[in-house]
Amino acid sequence: MSVDATLSFEEAMEKYDPVLGFEVHVELNTKTKMFSSAPNVFGDEPNTNVNEVDLGMPGVLPVVNKAAVESSIKIGLALNCKIAETCRFARKNYFYPDTPKNFQTSQYDEPIAYDGYLDIELEDGTVFRVEIERAHMEEDAGKLTHMGGASGRIQGADYSLVDYNRSGVPLVEIVTKPIEGAGSRAPELAKAYVAAVREIVKNLGVSDAKMERGNVRCDANVSLRPHGQERFGIRSETKNVNSLRAVEHAVRYEIQRHAAVLDSGQPIIQETRHWHEDTRSTTSGREKSDADDYRYFPEPDLVPVVASREWVEELRATLPEPPAERRKRLQADWGYSDLEFRDVVNAGVMDSIEETIAAGASADVARKWWMGEIVGRAKAADVDPAELGVTPQVIVELNKLIEDGKINNKMATQVLDGVLAGEGAPAEIVEKRGLAVVSDDGPLLEAIDAALAAQPDVAEKIRGGKLQAIGAIVGGVMKATRGQADAGRVRELILAKLGVEG
């Protein structure tokens, strides 16, 4: 495998202007498939979530899943698209074992949704509008595993094994118009766009939206043209870039590769590229050729889908608040600064904080816990903060224990340890672990006497009005009580004992 030459990203940007385009496939989370009643379930025993329709048996009749159409319309609406009054399915003909029918049922010239846009907010707050060409309905293909050969890749494989469980899973393919003007922010925009689409379909509840499971898959088109030239350059299409980070890296890499090819005076070959996460580079797939002549024609086994305006409006009324608007509202409600809010979003704890506030905590308390102890522990355990096992109720209870003076902050972290160890609710753990703050003055007064006796010079200073010296005595008392005293109360008692006004 030869390594392609690349230019530095900076040099590529000096010389060329990138144009992007994306095809994002979203797997819907309907209970059944697009055209058959077989279950749409990930990860089961191969070839068991199928029936005669998915296996392309002769003489079978596909029937459209109404829920999948509704999900598709919702996606179209969330992408600010027009919804077609009437649209049809088409057969996309090709021979490959991932489809047993020798065609994929898709939509061709009549997508269900078209002419939309999505406003993408970049990290520094810049808003970039991405125009949506279309969103159409189709079905997923089966999964091939290439066996033999050295690398598990198709090159050198001896044979392939096919599982059709994924065959017929409803897909919506979202296609952008060419994206111009992103300049050096193209890789960042690419990542932000795919992230936004993923967030939208997740928020709509129409997809599980897990990229690692292939619920959201991205093909990234990249071309370069000299600055000032209007005509687009020749593009490459990098397939199946399946993480947000990879989308950013793949676009960046392709820009650098294209720039090197153009600089050497060679033409770009219009081709499919494969992304390799290990080397963070792409390799040539195949050139676009006759094989892309799919001979689309209207699917004779399916009748048109007519989306009455009443139906579309009914569906529009069910749409949740768009994620970007929701973020703006939450930030305003919580009174976080831009920086604080961005950190919360990046840490993936916005939903958790919202739930915690709903459970009764203040916005500041919720942020303190989620961004402090919980994020730290989640990172150490390598899990998502929300999956650590801390419920909003736990935080509310912990905070109440602190506010009531029953425990201090240090003890609260020990109580949290107990919660995560499955020892029960915070109050129970305080009891079981004997963590309560010592509030009975008797033992405190004894400890204070001992501390004063141990440091008579300090006691003298305090009597003389040097109140800052009191820290040494408080420290001695805290040590003697193993941190279980309320420091504020200790201070009051010391002052009273020495007859000094605090």
Partner 1 sequence: MAAINRDDVAHLARLAHIEMSAEELDRMAGELAVIVDSVKTVSEAAGDDVPATSHPIPLSNVFREDVVGHTFTAEQSLSGAPDAYEGRFKVPAILDED
Per CB under 8 A, residues contacting partner 1 are 30-32, 36-39, 45-52, 55, 63-69, 86, 88, 93-97, 144-146, 148-149, 154-155, 157-164, 239, 272, 274, 285-286, 290-291, 293, 295, 298-300, 302-306
β-strand partners of 218: 24, 241
- Closest to partner 1 by CB, 48 or 318: 48
Closest contact distance (angstroms) between CB of 260 and partner 1 is 24
Closest contact distance (angstroms) between CB of 140 and partner 1 is 16
Residue bearing tokens 């994020």: 375
User: Residue 494 and residue 461: Cα distance in Å, rounded?
Assistant: 13
- Closest to partner 1 by CB, 46 or 348: 46
First to last CA, the chain: 78
User: Residue 25 and residue 206: Cα distance in Å, rounded?
Assistant: 13
User: In degrees rounded to 5, what are phi and psi of residue 171?
Assistant: -125, 145
- Closest to partner 1 by CB, 126 or 279: 279
Closest contact distance (angstroms) between CB of 71 and partner 1 is 10
- CB crowding 322-340: b at 16 or more within 10 Å, else e: bbbebbeebbeebebeeeb
β-strand partners of 16: 226
Report residue 82 CA to chain centroid gap: 27
- Closest to partner 1 by CB, 272 or 393: 272
Closest contact distance (angstroms) between CB of 366 and partner 1 is 37
- Closest to partner 1 by CB, 154 or 332: 154
Token pair for 494: 């010391």
Token pair for 456: 């008579």
- Closest to partner 1 by CB, 164 or 370: 164
Distances in whole angstroms, Cα of residue 74 to Cα of each of 113, 135, 324, 441, 481: 10, 11, 17, 64, 61
Which residues contact residue 185 at a Cβ distance below 8 angstroms, ignoring those fewer than 6 apart? 122, 126, 128
- Closest to partner 1 by CB, 102 or 409: 102
Closest contact distance (angstroms) between CB of 334 and partner 1 is 37
Distances in whole angstroms, Cα of residue 80 to Cα of each of 136, 205, 336, 375, 435: 14, 17, 29, 35, 55
Which residues contact residue 109 at a Cβ distance below 8 angstroms, ignoring those fewer than 6 apart? 90, 296
Q: Measured at the alpha carbon of residue 329, what is the angle toward residues 327 and 333, in degrees to the nearest 5? A: 115
Closest contact distance (angstroms) between CB of 323 and partner 1 is 25
Closest contact distance (angstroms) between CB of 124 and partner 1 is 37
Closest contact distance (angstroms) between CB of 35 and partner 1 is 8
Pairing verdict, β 236-241 and 271-276: parallel
- Closest to partner 1 by CB, 69 or 211: 69
Closest contact distance (angstroms) between CB of 6 and partner 1 is 23
Whether residue 122 contacts residue 166, with contact meaning beta carbons closer than 8 Å, is answered with: no
- Closest to partner 1 by CB, 148 or 376: 148
- Closest to partner 1 by CB, 148 or 464: 148
Which residues contact residue 218 at a Cβ distance below 8 angstroms, ignoring those fewer than 6 apart? 22, 23, 24, 25, 194, 240, 241, 242, 247
Closest contact distance (angstroms) between CB of 109 and partner 1 is 11
Per residue, the 3-state secondary structure of 264-285, as one string, reads CCCCCCCEEEEEECCCCEEEEE
